[in-house]
């Protein structure tokens, strides 16, 4: 036992710290490309660090720490070559939502809990990666994230209204109280705050439209600050970001309290899940363009390690950024060194510009955050979901509604549960299609009888399974089999075509045996056709073949049909007008041969008499 434990620990250690596969790509040319991409990324994350920290309810330096430490760790231990980690809008909103109800925003307790939350999030993500559960995110519908991010974006935008208008408003998490207070106090709007906010907002939009290569957020904050300074006494009541603390992240142990396990475990799980979905979505989207293979388990470990290490340097939870990762790839990044360069350049830039952030007015930051929130909402994807799937629309809509009316954290759990329930419902209701050869096709391929108005054999029912064959689908399949008995009473035999049914278990095998017995009792037989070797072995494992009575499992439909034809009732075949199988005419020969044999027997009896 101790030896096995030591072996497992060694394997985990090797998995976490294995040599990155991109090391072999590094040369002078890639270093130059990565350095340029890193410099571009540093100018983008500079205002984002302040904005995202504000969304999380944290001082700006916490956004900078997260933008410097987590991308380095994720770059070294993750799988993607172009993904850039750090603070993100959705995670920041979740952090604020999780902690604002527990601690006063901006208090020392709030700051300490945010750092400890990063540790919990990272540990959960690492455990999932080490347990090889990288495919876990595949079971969460994309509609969950679409609805969640839309809800988070709206809450973020509403949270900035108070700063843009200079009004004292409740938090938008209490949506009805917020809207009531907003409409009742609109007349108290500070025109100075509104002017500064709109100036920054419009500047960012115009720069993005006419000079897309320029750092529009940074310029917007600069212009907003200049307007604030130009207004002088008129803007004396407008708050600014204030002095930024030390920009160098310093090593310190994450704060730990006995109450953290109870208070932070649930939000940590939700943030970990959202972070992993974000990371995998970003890395896969870019990998489709870069032609890189992504190791989901390694990406889980990389994201988890970045949060764990970050918690020792006063970082709050982070994940992969859609904006910075896309920009990193577009800027020509070749390896994860670009993310490391971005962190280094950000630190060097902060040494010179950090003092000037003290003059940035809060309304200007609110204008920039408004644009960040607007860009989060994937309107094209929302329209696509609405047009194509009612079930996915329901998932996205419910997740969105819960995020606004109940809680952001709970909306994730609600969406995931709905997504899993939908998946299980689809899996437990596979489709059974009655097929028949189409004489209009050269190879007489089997097609749906109902959709193509085809004839079918009066004795043999050919049924194709479209979906999984496991314990969850057994009841649904049994009900369909019983319907077939009522609708097609003369088709006593059935050919069951199994394709891609997945892992067949004991309840599924017992259903096949049960159906075989019922077919025998009605005077027919059950045949199975599958081309998947694993499916045949699974049937053999559960002794299905023995219970069906001999070799009733075939690799070809035509072999199965030929076997079924040999035992059909010739009297029914004689009067059949369907004649859908190529072997059907052989019955006339068999009947003639049988009549000749009967005549010979009669002659032999006559001679004996």
Report the phi/psi class of residue 169: left, alpha or beta, with left for phi > 0 and alpha for psi in -120 to 50: beta
pLDDT given at position 412: 81
508 vs 434, 501, 511, 542, 550, CA distance in Å?
20, 10, 5, 10, 19
How far is residue 111's CA from residue 100's CA, in Å, rounded to a whole number? 11
Q: Is the sign of the CA dihedral 26, 28, 30, 31 positive or negative? A: positive
Q: Please say whether the beta carbons of 74 and 303 come within 8 A.
A: yes
Six-digit token string for 36: 């340029």
Domain assignments of the chain as residue spans, ordered by start: 31-244+265-423, 431-593
* Residues whose CB falls within 8 Å of the CB of residue 356, separated by 6 or more in sequence, listed in order: none
Q: What pairs with residue 259 in β-bridges? A: none
Six-digit token string for 493: 């035999």
pLDDT given at position 5: 43
pLDDT given at position 588: 53
| Among the listed residues 174, 227, 224, 232, the one whose alpha carbon sits nearest the alpha carbon of residue 201 | 224
Side-chain half-sphere CA neighbours of 33 within 13 A? 16
Q: What pairs with residue 461 in β-bridges? A: 494
pLDDT given at position 585: 52
Q: Is the sign of the CA dihedral 98, 101, 107, 113 positive or negative? A: negative
Six-digit token string for 203: 């500047």
| Among the listed residues 510, 73, 145, the one whose alpha carbon sits nearest the alpha carbon of residue 304 | 73
How far is residue 147's CA from residue 221's CA, in Å, rounded to a whole number? 30
Q: What is the CATH number of domain 431-593?
A: 3.30.750.24
How far is residue 168's CA from residue 155's CA, in Å, rounded to a whole number? 16
In the chain, which stretches have pLDDT less than 50?
1, 3-7, 587
3-state secondary structure of 526: strand
> Could you say which DSSP state residue 268 is in?
H
DSSP result, 591-605: HHHHHHHHHHHHHHH
Q: Please say whether the beta carbons of 143 and 399 come within 8 A.
A: yes
């Amino acid at each position: 036992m101790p030896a096995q434990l030591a072996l497992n620990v060694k394997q985990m250690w090797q998995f976490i710290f294995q040599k990155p596969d991109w090391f072999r790509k590094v040369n002078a040319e890639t270093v130059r490309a990565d350095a340029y991409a890193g410099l571009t990324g540093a100018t983008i994350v500079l205002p984002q660090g302040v904005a995202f920290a504000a969304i999380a309810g944290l001082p700006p330096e916490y956004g900078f720490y997260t933008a410097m430490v987590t991308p380095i760790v994720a770059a070294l231990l993750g799988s993607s070559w172009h993904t850039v980690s750090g603070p993100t809008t959705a995670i920041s909103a979740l952090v604020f939502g999780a902690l604002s109800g527990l601690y006063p925003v901006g208090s020392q307790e709030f700051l300490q809990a945010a750092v400890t939350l990063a540790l919990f999030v990272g540990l959960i993500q690492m455990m999932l990666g080490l347990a090889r559960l990288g495919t876990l995110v595949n079971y969460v519908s994309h509609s969950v994230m679409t609805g969640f991010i839309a809800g988070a974006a709206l809450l973020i935008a509403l949270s900035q209204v108070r700063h843009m208008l200079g009004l004292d408003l409740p938090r938008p998490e209490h949506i009805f109280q917020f809207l009531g207070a907003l409409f009742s106090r609109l007349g108290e709007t500070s025109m100075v705050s509104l002017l500064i906010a709109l100036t920054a907002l419009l500047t960012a939009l115009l720069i993005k439209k006419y000079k897309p290569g320029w750092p529009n957020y940074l310029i917007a904050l600069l212009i907003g600050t200049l307007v604030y300074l130009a207004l002088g006494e008129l803007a004396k009541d407008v708050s600014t970001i204030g002095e930024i603390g030390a920009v160098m992240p310093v090593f310190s142990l994450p704060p730990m309290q006995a109450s953290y396990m109870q208070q932070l475990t649930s939000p940590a799980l939700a943030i970990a899940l959202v972070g992993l979905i974000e990371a995998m979505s970003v890395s896969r989207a870019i990998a489709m363009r870069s032609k890189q293979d992504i190791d989901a388990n390694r990406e889980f470990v990389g994201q988890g390690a970045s949060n764990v290490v970050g918690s020792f340097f006063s970082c709050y939870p982070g994940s992969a950024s859609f904006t910075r990762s896309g920009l990193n790839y577009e800027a020509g990044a070749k390896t994860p060194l670009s993310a490391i360069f971005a962190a280094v350049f950000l630190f060097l830039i902060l040494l010179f510009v950090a003092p000037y952030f003290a003059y940035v007015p809060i309304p200007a930051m609110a204008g920039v955050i408004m644009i960040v929130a607007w860009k989060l909402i994937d309107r094209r994807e929302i329209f696509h979901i609405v047009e194509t799937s009612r079930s996915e629309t329901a998932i996205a809509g419910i997740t969105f509604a819960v995020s606004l009316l109940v809680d952001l954290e709970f909306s994730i759990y609600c969406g995931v549960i709905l997504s899993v329930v939908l998946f299980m419902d689809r899996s437990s209701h596979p489709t059974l299609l009655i097929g028949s050869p189409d004489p209009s096709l050269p190879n007489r391929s089997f097609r749906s009888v109902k959709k193509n108005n085809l004839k079918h054999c009066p004795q043999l029912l050919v049924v194709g399974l479209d979906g999984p064959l496991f314990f969850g689908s057994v009841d649904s399949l049994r009900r369909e089999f019983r319907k077939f008995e009522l609708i097609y009473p003369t088709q006593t035999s059935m050919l069951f075509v199994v394709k891609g049914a997945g892992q067949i278990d004991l309840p599924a095998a017992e259903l096949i045996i049960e159906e075989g017995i019922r077919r025998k009792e009605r005077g027919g037989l059950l045949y199975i056709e599958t081309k998947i070797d694993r499916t045949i072995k699974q049937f053999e494992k559960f002794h299905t073949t023995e219970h069906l009575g001999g070799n009733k499992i075939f690799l070809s439909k035509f072999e199965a049909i030929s076997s079924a034809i040999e035992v059909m009732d010739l009297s029914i075949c004689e009067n059949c007008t369907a004649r859908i199988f190529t072997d059907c005419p052989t019955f006339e020969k068999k009947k003639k041969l049988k009549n000749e044999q009967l005549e010979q027997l009669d002659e032999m009896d006559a001679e004996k008499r």
